[in-house]
Amino acid sequence: MTAAGADADGERRNGLDAAGVVVLGACAAWPLITAAARDGRPEGMLLAVLAVAAGYAAGRIGGTLLPVAAPCAWALAGVGLTVAVPHLVPGPQIAAPLGHAGATAAVLTLSAGAACCAAWAAPSSALRIALHLATAGIAVTAAVLGSAVGCAASALVLLASLATARVRRRGAGILLLALATAAVTGLAWAVARDALPDGLAASLEGRLSAHRVGLWRDALGMVHRNAGLGVGPGRFGELSPTSGETLLSDGKPHSAPLQLAAEQGVVGVVLLALVFAWLLCALWRSPRSTQVALAAGAALTAVAAIATVGNALSFTAVSVGAGLLAGTATARPFTDAAPARTPDARPRGDRLAR
């Protein structure tokens, strides 16, 4: 790469970093505004934003210093967390609708993504194969823990990682990931609106559970009544009739887009979409290899899908893990940072004079 090209690439990365700061800052400011207007509780959203930002910064540092060891450490930490603390946080263990089970699946999926990133950053083919086998081990671990969603998502991340072996241009892959996320979000929204054909709607409701679909419809009703500011952060449980039907309810609709739409209005959903779009753009412009970028993107997309139909993003471990993976996949390792040296950059006249 020429010096001019390197400078332009660096400016684009700096611009993306600045855009990320603006988007995350807006994600922190907007719940404060809606909370003040609706007497809400913004602490959960603020903690999630802080967790993503801290994880992203730590991932960038770790990916720069230790491009193979750092993601291996993230993967081991995620698996260790789910094995040692199966439900991640104390309290009622919500399995249906997807609650703690979704958080476990998300952490294992992020661990699989980190292991794949480490595999593609490995200097030898033997180590690469070993790390991909370790990713398969994460999927098996998910199955042993009873997380069918985590097993399927980890396996999909592994398959996506292996499929990128001969990919050289990442743009089409990033676009495909964005479309997949949009499709899952649109499907959840259609289920909440009861806009699907009867047969498909009944099939999906049977898999999702009638209780979860009821929560989604309560959230959509709040959006229709309070599209601007929402009902206020943390107030869904107070206003949802379906949420009050069970003693194990955690007061959330178990869908990140619908929760933000209900509690923070349309702007909250737009900000969530901007955060995900920023992460995909950062992976698109990442100085890491296409395989690393797409493996991380596949894991983040799987987690986005889990969060769309579950409660994964309400757990700090998931937010931190997503930030760690994204930061690692967008870091520039020191081995790639040093500019190429030319034999002699002095003007020709000076060389002749010598």
Q: How far apart are CA 285 and CA 18, in angstroms?
A: 14
Q: Would the pLDDT of 338 be above 60?
A: no
Query: Which residues, other chains included, contact 276 with Cβ-Cβ below 8 Å and sequence gap of 6+?
Result: 178, 181, 300, 304
Buried b or exposed e, range 146-169, using 16+ CB within 10 angstroms: ebebbbbbbbbbbebbeebeeeee
Predicted TM-score (pTM) of the model is 0.89
User: What pLDDT is stored for residue 102 in this prediction?
Assistant: 83
Judge whether 350 lies within some domain: no
Residue 28: pLDDT band with limits 50, 70, 90: very high
Predicted confidence (pLDDT) per residue in 116-153, tens digit: 999 999 999 999 999 999 999 999 999 998 889 999 99
pLDDT of residue 167 exceeding 70: yes
Torsion-angle region of residue 194: left (phi > 0), alpha (psi -120 to 50) or beta?
A: left
List the one residue out of 45, 21, 98, 43 whose CA is nearest residue 267. 45
* CA atoms of 178 and 167, how far apart (whole Å): 18
- In a domain? residue 150: yes
In a domain, 354, yes or no: no
pLDDT at 334: 78
Q: Please enumerate in sequence order all residues whose Cβ is within 8 A of that of 176, keeping only pairs 6 or more positions apart, or say none.
A: none
**Each residue's pLDDT tens digit, 66-104:** 999 999 999 999 999 888 876 554 444 444 434 467 889
**Total structural domains within the chain:** 1
Tokens 């949802």, residue? 240
Mean model confidence pLDDT for the chain: 87
Q: Tell me the per-residue pLDDT of 266-292, one tens digit each, with 9 for 90 and over.
A: 999 999 999 999 999 999 999 999 999
Domain that holds residue 104: 3-337
Task: Tell me if 351 is assigned to some domain.
Answer: no
Predicted confidence band at 205 (pLDDT cuts at 50, 70, 90)?
confident
Distance (Å, whole) CA 188 – CA 205? 11
Alpha-carbon span 19 to 204, nearest angstrom:
37
Q: 3: Cβ–Cβ under 8 A, 6 or more apart, which residues?
A: 339
pLDDT at 245: 76
pLDDT tens-place string over residues 241-253: 988 777 666 788 9
Length of the chain: 354
70 domain residue, yes or no? yes
* Residue 145 covered by a domain: yes
Q: Output the CA–CA distances (angstroms, integers) from residue 349 to 42, 343, 344, in the order listed.
A: 66, 15, 12
Nearest alpha-carbon partner for 245 in 210, 220, 208, 193:
210
pLDDT tens per residue across span 210-226? 888 999 999 999 999 99
* Per-residue pLDDT tens digits for 296-337: 999 999 999 999 998 888 899 999 999 999 999 999 887 654
